[in-house]
Each structure stands twice: as structure tokens, then as C-alpha cells.
Chain A
């Protein structure tokens, strides 16, 4: 019993001691774990947290300094980029003597007015701009003045290295770096999304072609004393715009405030005009495609047509029956009108609609203009529309529709973005508008105009240009002004297998001695094509051809009744 008690005692004592020890050990263990965790966290904070903070900081600053991605052309040439510039600001609350400070600052900053500065520095605000975008020298000078409360801020400035030439393609931004026109406006969101990706926005334009187009339409505008000019170069297989120019233009680096000024209007895409005889191309295509007429069919163009209050006349009256090639090459309004009314009701309208001429084109630029189409479509409208009057469309629409007529018959969606082959199908579901057979006839007709018709001045030897002139009187208040013309030329080359369509337009050109006073498209717009195509064809990889004509054109020439010269 005693032994047992002893044993029991010993057991009890041992148990108590053991449980105390284990409790202490558990506590120690818990403390160790807690301190270990603290140590790990301390090391973590000491070694890495600061780095994380830095990483976040530098990312933020780089994002702020690059508010918009760059814009480049199809060959990667810079069209718009960002430069960091310095602006001078001030905190008026920290300025004691506004007038004296203003006078001091005005001595070192160019182009600031002491009065304006004084007013700004006296304001109740805690932040005012003194001058934005100063030069490093000016910054240095202001810094040397050492005025407390005057500060410098980094600002992103958009730079357009190509200047005026690309004005209507890239457009420009306001001071807050928001797109106001052109690609800057059309791709405003995309340009911001691309920030930080090191990617730039690639347009379909080719700077070299753009320069040639810009220069040639500029030269013609000066030569013929025109109010304005416009031009587009379009790839007929993809709908890509290779060049697009509109004059007068502006310098996007210094756009000014007068956005209402007409130099900000894009005459190639935004402005819609009655295009005149270039529309006869569509009339011919409609007639041939929808079985209204064959090439051999002739129409009576002996006398002008009287319909309602209109008299439809020819500019170069032949006063006889003309077959289709003759109507087209002599640009006979009477013949076109007769073809239009020979078509069944609605055929002409549906055909023009299928070419995208009756609705606003699906084009990226937000300023893209919508056509003005007749409200009612009776005989008289059919007739005038057949030769491009009573309907106003943009140069882009004409170029794109003609591209479809000459490329084998497929209408593409025009674009100013470089679309990859994979994306193309989704982006541009090409739509067949005429058969290949009709397309070939249109090619031949356009070549005929350049070989024998009103477009002879557009012939660029070696490059097989085909095209059509368009001379329209400007409509003013319901009537037409005889001496105010819109002359245009739509060309395709090489016409036997067209790759590019060129559209050029002059607004109110004046005839001069070199043109014997004539101001029509054949004298003013056609020569632009003659000068432009040989410049851009080598750039676009179009080699000169030994061919001098289109096979079908040769057949057409045989159909022409020889001129009786008096």
C-alpha cells in the first residue's frame, strides 16, 4: 500500500511536473513561431517591399508620359509621335507681388503678355499656366529667376514629322491630347489602349505616295488658280487607302483654333460633290451588267433632251446616233440619259446602292461624309444621275466604286488601316457587284477614253492608264454656275490588270493660256494623272508595260465612226 502510495505520489508528482513542462514548451513554441513569422515579415519588408513600391511607381510615370501610341505608315515611317516638353506653371497663392513677378517672367519668355500674366498670377486659384511648351533655354532662364511658386511641368506634345502633307490623314489633337480629326480622332481609343505595349498604330498610307499626290494636286491647284483640290490613291484588291490629300490644308503641329475654317475640311472623304461624267462609268457598268444594252447598241444623241425644266445637252455634240463606246469616250450626256431610262425601274438605283454610292461609306474617319441622293427617283432623276448630276458623293465613294468595277467586279471595304491577311476576311467580306466579263469591258472603255476620248491628257506612257473625266457645274441655290466647275478624273492602272485607282479633283479651276482657256477636267484634272502615275508606279512596284492598249479597246476603236474634220 505504501509502495503503492509512494508510487502513486511519484506518479502524481511526475505528472504535474511533466504537464507544467509541456505547457511551458508549448508556449515557447508558440512564441518561437510568432517571432519567426515576424522575422520573416521583417526580412520580406526590408528586402522586397521597397522594390515592389518602386516598380509600381516607375510604371505609373511611364504611362503618364505616353498618353498616346505612335502612328506610322505602312512602311513604319513615323507620322505622329510624342515628345516630352516643359511647361511653366505657377501657384498664385505663393506669389507676393503678381505685377512684379509677371514683368520679370515676361522678360525671359517669348510671346507672353504682361497684362495676361499679372491677371493669372493674381487669381484665387492654386494653379495657373504661365506658358506651355517652352524651350530648354526658356526653362533655364525662368529657373534662374528663382521665383518661389513658379514651377515646371512635363507635358506630352504630339509631333507630326510629315507636317501639312499628312494633315488630313493623321489629323491632330487638342491641348488635352484628344483626337480632333483624322486618324487621331478615328482611333482615339485604340491609340490610348496601345500605350505601354510598345506597339504603334499602322496605317495603310504610304508616305512616299502621299507626298507625290499632295505635291501634284498642289501644283495643279496653283496652276489653275483653284479654290481647292483633293486626291485619293486606292488599292483595288484590298480597299487600302495609299494616299489621301485635301487642299488647302493645315500644319497639324500648329493647328490653330479656327476649326470651322475650310482648310480643316477633308475634300476627299468628307466633302460631297456632284461628280459629273465620272458617273457615266457606273451607267455603262449597269447597262452592260443588267442587259440594258450591249456595246454595239446605239442611242439617239442627235438633239438635246427636254425633260421637265431641264435641257440635257452634250458638251461636244456629235448630233448623231452613238454606240456605247462612243457615248462614253465623247462623254455624251444625252446618250447616258437614254441608257438610264432604258433600264427598268429601280435597276439603276439598286446598282448604285450596291456600289455603296447611296449611303455613307463604312470608313474609319469619323468625318466621312454622307452622299446627297435624290428623294424621288423618276425619269428625270435617272437621267441626271446617269451623268453625275442631282447626286453628290465623296471622292472616296467614286474611287472605291470604280475600284470594284475594274478589279474583276468585287467591292471591297475601304480602309486606312493595314489589315493583316488573317483579319481580312472578317474585316472585308468582298462583295461581287459585276461579272468579270463586264469588268473587262469597263477597263477597255476607260482605256478608250484615255486613248481617243476626253482623257487623252491623262496618258502616262508605259503605265497603261485608263480613266474617265468628270466636269460638273457647281450648284448654287437650285441653279448651276457656268464658270464654277468641279473637275475630276478617276483613273486605274495598269488598265489590263488594274492594281490602283487614283481619283483627283479640283474645285473651281480656271483655264489659262496653256489650256486655251478651257477649265474642263480633260484640261485641268487629267494632266495630274499623267504626272502622278509615273511617279508613284515605281514606288508601288508596278513595272512599265510594253503593251500600248487593252485588247478589247482595240476592238472598240473599230466601232467608232471616224470624225469628219472640217
Chain B
């Protein structure tokens, strides 16, 4: 009988300690969760501020002022917009500078057998000088 009481008493102390530990941990986690939630809230608030700032900085009015001041760009003229059909085939003997020629695959071998290092090297195609268009208002 006495041994049962002793065992029960020891168990009681063990369970109480265990439970206290558990509760302590839970409280810690709750604090962490609260801190995190607060941080999420602050972060969301900050994201909002940044988004608002971005909207202010990227507003068309401001971009236009900056463009007029720093860029040599003019509004697009309709004549500058072309479709693929508008491109005429070059027939002046000049090979397309923008396209590298790929040698035909050797018969019997796979296409991947072409060693890229052996391809003729070309310098970067030189771009024609683009005439500077007069600045104007407008995006």
C-alpha cells in the first residue's frame, strides 16, 4: 500500500514537471508565433509602402519627364512599326549577318556531331548608326 502511494507521488511529480515543461514550451511557441505575426503585419505594411512608392516612381507622368530629360527617344511613328511580311528578302549577295551558318550534318552521323569550336568565327555584326530622332513629348 505504501509503495503504491510512493509510486503515485513520484508519478504525480513527474507528470506535473512534464506538464509544466510542455506548457512552458507552448508559451514560448505562442510568443514566437505572435512575434512572427507582428513581423508579417509589419512586412505587409512595408510592402504596401514600397508598392505605393513604386507606383509613384513608375507613374507615366514621371517616366515621361525622365524620358524627355535623359533619353533620346521620340514617340513611335507608325512607319517604324513593321510586321514580318513587310521585310523584303535580301538579294544583294550579302549573307544575313545576324545568322550563323550551320554546316550540313555529315551523312550517317547525327546532327549533334558538329563541333561548335570548328565553326568559322565571325566578329559581332556591326550595327548601322541609328540616326538620332528629334525628341518630342509623349510616351
Contact = CB atoms under 8 A, between A and B. Distances in A.
B134 to A, nearest CB: 15
Contacts of A543: 81, 83
Contacts of A538: 76, 81
A491 B64 CA distance: 25
Would you call the interface of chain A mostly helix, strand, loop, or mixed? helix
A46 B26 contact: yes
A84 B45 contact: yes
A378 B59 CA distance: 52
Contacts of B59: 161-163, 165, 207, 211
A122 to B, nearest CB: 36
Contacts of B78: 461-463, 534, 544
Contacts of A46: 19, 23, 26
Would you call the interface of chain B mostly helix, strand, loop, or mixed? helix
Interface in B44-71: 45, 48-49, 51-52, 54-56, 58-61, 64
Contact of B81 (A47, A84, A162, A544): A544
B3 to A, nearest CB: 19
Nearest to B37: A58
Contacts of A207: 59-60
B139 interface: yes
B32 to A, nearest CB: 11
A251 interface: no
A444 B58 CA distance: 40
B61 A534 contact: no
A379 interface: no
Interface in A12-56: 43, 46-47, 50-51, 54
Interface stretch (A74-82, A397-405, A413-421): A74-82
Contact of B55 (A77, A208, A463): A77
Contacts of A54: 30, 33-34, 37
Interface in A321-357: none
Interface string A454-471: 000000011100000000
Contacts of A461: 78
B26 A535 contact: no
A534 B64 CA distance: 16
A112 interface: no
A462 B79 contact: yes
Nearest to A165: B61
Contacts of A51: 26, 30, 33
Interface string A60-78: 0110010000000000011
A368 B98 CA distance: 56
A360 B43 CA distance: 46
A78 B55 contact: yes
Contacts of B37: 54, 58
Given A51-B33, A462-B78, A543-B83, A81 B52 contact: yes
A245 to B, nearest CB: 13
Contacts of A559: none
A556 interface: no
Given A58-B37, A77-B55, A208 B23 contact: no
A292 to B, nearest CB: 38
A535 B55 contact: no
A258 to B, nearest CB: 25
A212 interface: yes
B51 A78 contact: yes
A43 B18 CA distance: 12
A162 B55 contact: yes
Interface residues of B, number: 33
Contact of A161 (B27, B41, B52, B75): B52
Interface string A152-176: 0000000101110100000000000
Interface string A128-154: 000000000000000000000000000
Interface in A192-219: 207-208, 211-212, 215
Contacts of A94: none
A462 B77 CA distance: 9
Contacts of B26: 46-47, 51
Contacts of A77: 55, 58
B22 interface: yes
A78 B48 CA distance: 10
B63 to A, nearest CB: 9
B30 A62 contact: no
A326 to B, nearest CB: 30
A463 B75 CA distance: 15
A116 interface: no
A415 to B, nearest CB: 23
Interface in A503-550: 531, 534-535, 538-539, 543-544
A83 interface: yes
Contact of A83 (B19, B27, B49): B49
Contacts of B52: 78, 81, 83, 159, 161
| Residue among B49, B75, B78 with the highest chain A CB neighbour number at 10 A | B78
Contacts of A43: 19
Nearest to A57: B34
Contacts of B75: 534-535
A215 B48 CA distance: 28
Nearest to A545: B78
Nearest to B54: A78
Contacts of B41: 58, 61-62, 65
Nearest to B53: A161
B49 to A, nearest CB: 6
Given A54-B33, A211-B61, 7 more contacts: A51-B26, A162-B61, A211-B139, A215-B61, A534-B77, A538-B76, A538-B81
The 8 closest A-B pairs by CB, nearest first: A462-B78, A544-B78, A161-B55, A211-B60, A78-B55, A46-B23, A161-B56, A47-B26
7 contacts: A47-B22, A62-B41, A159-B52, A165-B61, A462-B78, A462-B79, A544-B81
Interface of A: 43, 46-47, 50-51, 54, 58, 61-62, 65, 77-78, 81-84, 159, 161-163, 165, 207-208, 211-212, 215, 461-463, 531, 534-535, 538-539, 543-544
